[in-house]
Structures are given as structure tokens and as C-alpha cells.
Structure 1
Amino acid sequence: MTAEAEYGPKELQLDIPSAARAYDYFLGGAHNFEADRAFAEQVRAMVPWVPDVAKLNRSFLRRVVGYLLDQGIDQFLDLGSGIPTVGNVHEIAQQRVPDARVVYVDYEPVAYKYARTLLAGDPNTAIIQADVRDPLAVLDAPETRELIDFSRPVGLLMVGLLLFIGPQDNPAELVRTYRDRLAPGSYLAISHIADEHAPEELRAQVATLVAAYAQANEHVYVRERTEIESWFDGMEMVEPGVVFLPDWRSESPDEAQNVARPLGYGGAARLP
């Protein structure tokens, strides 16, 4: 995939809400601004389950990282990582594997600047400010080349990312481009918003959510499971496949009862 002229890191604009900073707010983080909080509360007033989806997505990320550690993965590339909050990939991984290596990628300036400060004393972790739609800018970045050994298996994380990648940027090709750099034995994990099996009322609220984000110039794309599954073609799916987020190797029965359960899919697969 070739980078387009508009690809690249965002400039810091504190008066315009950011999806990454709103997500941080929904998770209870402190790295957001008045515009983000106002936008998040406006969205929550219309779509009250949005914080639940954020938390289910975060819980999925934690379980995925734990599973990959069980498979011997000790290096991770986290695309669209967002603002570091409690329970980030390096915190989860390094609790079990102290020298685990993690490269975060995000183009949101607050995420980048705060993460640089947070990670300054950790030689095994770095963040790149780059647009994930420009894979070469990510894969050939000095930080990536220093920390990630692509001759060994890698955990490639696209958690809560591809819903912001429109059809004009060909998400299937984007996934393939990153996959092509991975060694056999690597894993890919993806989560994505969905509504195909949601009750009519929730589907209407998803449409409201999409419209609200579009007004803030943050476009959200809702996709069906078949398309998400296609991004894993040629890989060995990890059981139970692409399923609702709380159903992927669940550790909490309460999550399965959450009203937001049918509003997101997650899955992981191994590159043979």
C-alpha cells in the first residue's frame, strides 16, 4: 500500500474532539480535554452503551495478549494503540515476561506525547507517531526495526482500529500488507464494531453513533462478521473464531450479559 498525501500524524487541536481521547474518557482515563469530554457526554446521552463497548474491547485486548503470551509470543506491534491507560499491552506482557518488547503506533498527538513520557524509562517499549495506513512508515521506523525482530513470531494487534479505516483505504489490503512482514508462528488479533445481530433499537443507536462521530470528523465503519473473517484468510483461527467480544475466551460471566455484547466482534489467528 502506498501512502497518500493526506496520510501522516495529526496535529494537536485541543478544541476539536478526538476519537482516541474520547475513548480514553470512556475508559476512565485522564488524558482528554474539554472538547473530548463534551463530545463523549453528548454521545453517551444518545448512545448510553458506548462506554460498555470500550470496556469490552479493552477486556478483549487483555485476554488476547495473555493468550499470545501463553503461545510464547514476546514481541508485539500494537496498531492504533490510543492513549496509554491502565492495562496497556506492555504492562500486561511485562508482568509475565519482563523483557517483552512492544511497539505502539498512533497518529494522535496526545497519545504519542504522553506515551513517550510514560515509556521513557523502558528500553523494550516505544511509540511511533504515524498513520497506520502508511505501513512502510510503521514497519521501517527506527523504533520498530530496533525492537521488533520480524524473523521471529510477532503479535500484531489491530484492536479497535479497522472501524476507522474506510473502504477507500482498502482495509483488507492494509491487513495483508502488515501480515506479509510477519514470520510463521505470528498471530493477528482484530476487534471491530458490528450490529448485524443486534436488536433493532441498538442498530438504530449504532447509526446515531456513526452520525455523531462523522459530525466530529471521525468516521466509523460498521462491518459484518464475514468481512472481518476474510481478513484472517490463510491463517489458523484460534478457537472460538470471530465472535462477540465477551465470548472470546471469556473470563467474566457478567460480560456475556452486557447489553453491548452483540455490538463488537473479536478474533485471533496464527500464521502457519
Structure 2
Amino acid sequence: MSLRLKDLTLFEQVVLALSLVAISVLLIDPFMLERARALPPDVRAFFRHITDIGKSNWMLIPTGTAVAIAIVLRRNHVGFRNSAAYGLIASTIGFVFVSVGGAGLIANLLKNIIGRARPKLFDTVGPYAFEPFAFDPDFASIPSGHATNIFALATVLAILWPRGRVLLYTVAVWIAASRVLIGAHYFTDAVLGAILGTVIPYIVRDRFAARRWLFECTPDGGYKIRGARTQAWLGWPEPLRSAWHGPVLFGNSGRKSGEMSGN
């Protein structure tokens, strides 16, 4: 009989996850740092040029401004159609803002609480040095904030535009990998940041759907974006317009396929 992740209890999933993290810290992180340091200077320079795409500033400042403008326009333009249009714009951009901003905030809190030393201190303290609650940039390695931000953005856009998810996640993987290849983070830091950035938007989506903000739940446990015109504009394939579940993350066997554990 095959064993699936969703068949495990929450405790078993946590033990498995912590074991994988420990193995990565002990074996994979030192190896990946050594390989990154051996890269040609031109390759490292290329990744330094693209790595800042993972910063949250260019994601949050425009989206926050756009939400504020949409809210103001919604209040000032009389008429149900205008109000509904600006409300849709505000909720869509708000979904991006809350998802990316929330994931980034959690990542910053975790990295300062955990206090893992960055790879630049590898030669002095090694990969296993932790100073919890240090609130020192040199001890704020895990999870990677850049990886968290770019995966949160990729996940948000993939939820809105399912057809583009392969391209979006490909870009996200390269940006997250750049943090490892330039020696700013360990491999484990980037992986945990990617996981965090992927999970948070789905939690936000579920909260939005419960309030019928942009999304709405369907009887089969999935969700859909409200409005056929919006679905068509975003290029949703016809079979997905009735409902799309998204990935199952750490669910138990009794759950509907669109639900996540903990919700």
C-alpha cells in the first residue's frame, strides 16, 4: 500500500519536515555553499544583477498605492457598475499586497527569532551557528526573505492566472537560487522561504473567499474568481471557470481537495 503525505498525522508531518530540514542543514548547505563559491566570477555577477528582483519594495509600494487609488475612485464615482469595477480592482491588488506583505512580514519575524548566521560567517562560525532573537542582519539567514517574496508573488499571480504558473514558478526558482549562488543564503534558507511564500497566499485566498472578496467558494470545496468576465480576462480555461482547487498542501485524507490543513 502506498503512503501519501496527506495520510500522515500532523505530528508525523512535522517530524518528517524537521528531519528533512536537519539533513539539509547538516549535509546540503555546506556542499551548496562550496559549489557556489566555485562558480566563475561572471556567473556570480549575473546572479547578483537579478537577485534584487526578490525585494518586496517594488511589489508592495505600487500595489499599496493602487489599492488606495481604487478605494478613493470607488467612493467618488457614483453608480453600481463603477463601484463594482473599482471594488474588483481594489480586491485584486489587495490580494497581491496582503499575500506578499504578509509572507514577507512573517519571514522577517522568523529570521530574527531563529537567528541563523549567514553564509558569510561560515569560515568563522560554520553553518550551524544560531543566535535566537539577535535582531542582527548577520544572524538573519533563515528563511530567505527574497525567496519568500518572489514565491509569494508567483503564487498570487498563478492563482489569478493559472495558465502562467509554469513560467511564474520558473522565474521564482531562479531568483530564489540566486540567493544561494551569490552566497547570501544557504540552500535550506531559500527552500523554506519558497515554502512559506507559497503557503501564505493560499491562506489569504481562503480568507478572501470566505468573505467573497474577489474569490468565492464552490460546493465541491474549490474556489473561483468572481465574475465570468474577470475569469475570461485573466485567461482562465473553460473547465477552470466553475472551480479550481489549487494544490493540496499538508492535507489529511478526509479533506476536500481544495482545503488546506489548519483552515
Normalising by structure 1, what TM-score?
A: 0.32
Return the index of the structure with the highest Cα Rg.
2
TM-score, with structure 2 as normaliser: 0.33
Report which of the two has the higher share of strand.
1
